[in-house]
A = this chain, B = another copy of it.
Amino acid sequence: MIAEILCVGTELLLGDIVNTNAAFIAKELAFAGIKSFWQSVVGDNSKRLLESFNLALSRADVVITSGGLGPTYDDLTKETAAKCLGLKLELRPDLLENLRKIFARMGREMSPNNEKQALMPEGAHVFENLRGTAPGLAVTKNGKSIVMLPGPPRELEPMFSGQVLPWLAQMAGLGTLVSHGVNIFGLGESAVEDRLKHMMENYSNPTLAPYAKTGEVLVRVTASAGAPEEAEKLIAPVLEEIKSRLDGYVYGIDAGSLQNALVNALKEKKLKIAAAESCTGGIISGRITEVPGASEVFGCGLCAYSNEMKSKLLGVNPGTLEKFGAVSAQTAIEMAQGVRELSGADISISTSGIAGPGGGTTEKPVGLVYIGYCTEKNYGALELHLGRGYADDRNLIRYLAASEALALALKLLRLE
């Protein structure tokens, strides 16, 4: 089965919104093993939309659209698709009734315009919209299908994952799909690919697909089978194989993010963490507290930029600052020790580095970062070089330094 994505909306052509729908649908299709060779965007114009449908149907088995299902005169997707396939539109009393219920629930009056959303091409398969008024739909004729979805991502995304993908998988004879994500930190995308090359090239069920995120790699493992349990059985040994090939670099399965994995590990062990930040300037605290329920495990975060604050707040010895400098392993360690003591946390992490663009020297260039840590039994520091030589590396260096600190804390927790 070959699919093609066609997004409809003048706001996309004007660049008022970024087309996250195309990326979302594309990723879901790739995950299901459905091929897609083109994506297009067209405005709210029936002539150009019809041209787009004709072209897309000449290249693909299924055309998936987003947008243009609203109640106003410039919402044209359903009408144009019906015209393209030579199908009549009919009013569906069940959908009209459902629309009335939605409006009643919101306490708003339904305008006559909204009745348009209960019109469907004859024979349409309807996808329920759990977060809006526009139902999705699919129509099939002569072996070609058009799937039409509402534009707002919060409506489209659950509809696609929950209803459209199973429908497509069935159409394509793919059975039930199950997928798990392996979270990897500390190894670049090409190194991950090298180590998993054999699996990626030779395994067909489950399949493996790597995705690079800033400083991280996610490997998605997807199996199809008659039932979810069978798919899980196919996936389990592959997850184990990935873990063993990637050694200590796997930090979780479906873990979401480093901060999520860290907060969960702390909760499990009933331990608290604290952070003393210089170059990351609050990002570590911000990422930890992004996780709901972080308050259970987060002692405190201190962001001390100046030498004065490092001594006053964190008790860093002025002699250490003078002898080794603020950007040094020694200072990072004393920062971690200081915040651990102050907060009474079990484990602490710290950062001190040169994020740039100014402040670098030959000895201590932009990108040099020390990550300090301290536990009951142990303390130390990592030296990292995170610069890439660009003028605007600052935020990348800060983000990666925070990721390194979170990953280090997670490792310490698992060792202790």
Instruction: Please report A residues at the B interface, Cβ cutoff 8 Å.
Output: 12-20, 22-30, 36-43, 45, 48, 52, 55, 105-106, 131, 154, 209, 211-212, 277, 280-290, 292-295, 298-306, 309, 312-313, 342-343, 356-358, 389-392, 394-395, 398
Contacts and interface: CB of A to CB of B under 8 A. Distances in A.
A228 B306 CA distance: 42
Given A38-B52, A106-B389, A281-B294, 13 more contacts: A15-B24, A15-B29, A15-B30, A17-B23, A154-B390, A282-B283, A282-B289, A282-B301, A289-B303, A290-B395, A292-B358, A299-B306, A300-B303
Contacts of A14: 26-27, 30, 209
Nearest to A212: B16
A208 to B, nearest CB: 13
A41 B22 contact: yes
Contacts of A342: 312-313
A29 B29 CA distance: 31
Contacts of A18: 18-20, 23
A281 B288 contact: yes
A189 to B, nearest CB: 10
A331 B232 CA distance: 50
28 contacts: A12-B26, A12-B39, A14-B26, A14-B30, A14-B209, A15-B23, A15-B30, A17-B23, A37-B42, A38-B48, A38-B52, A40-B40, A154-B392, A277-B282, A281-B288, A281-B290, A282-B284, A282-B286, A282-B288, A282-B289, A282-B301, A285-B286, A290-B394, A292-B358, A295-B306, A301-B303, A302-B302, A303-B303
The 10 closest A-B pairs by CB, nearest first: A281-B289, A282-B285, A15-B27, A15-B26, A301-B303, A282-B286, A282-B282, A39-B41, A18-B23, A285-B303
A284 B309 CA distance: 18
A289 B305 contact: yes
Nearest to A131: B390
